Amino acid sequence: MGALGSKRQAQCHRGHHLTGENTAPASNGGRRCKACNQAMSQAHNWRVRSGVLLSPAQLTALADEKYAVLARQG
């Protein structure tokens, strides 16, 4: 999508709002969803360390949990 397109987005592809507490800068100059990024990082760590592979539905549920925590903090 590119940097300009992500600056215009109101939500990530999983539906999380890209607000101040849930937005981090991306390397291309755009924005990224902190909750999804944290969930993907945790899923990667689980896969590398324990061989646990999450399904897309499980990854979405984990990202939703991360988003709920970030929303409470903000």
- Sorted by where each begins, the domain ranges of the chain are 3-73
Q: At 2, is the pLDDT very low, low, confident or very high (cuts 50, 70, 90)?
A: low
18-64 pLDDT, tens digit each:
988 999 998 888 889 999 999 999 999 999 999 999 999 999 999 99
User: Exposed, middle or buried: residue 43 (CB in 10 Å: 0-12, 13-18, 19+)?
Assistant: middle
User: What pLDDT sits at residue 9?
Assistant: 80
Contact criterion met (CB below 8 Å) for 16 and 35: yes
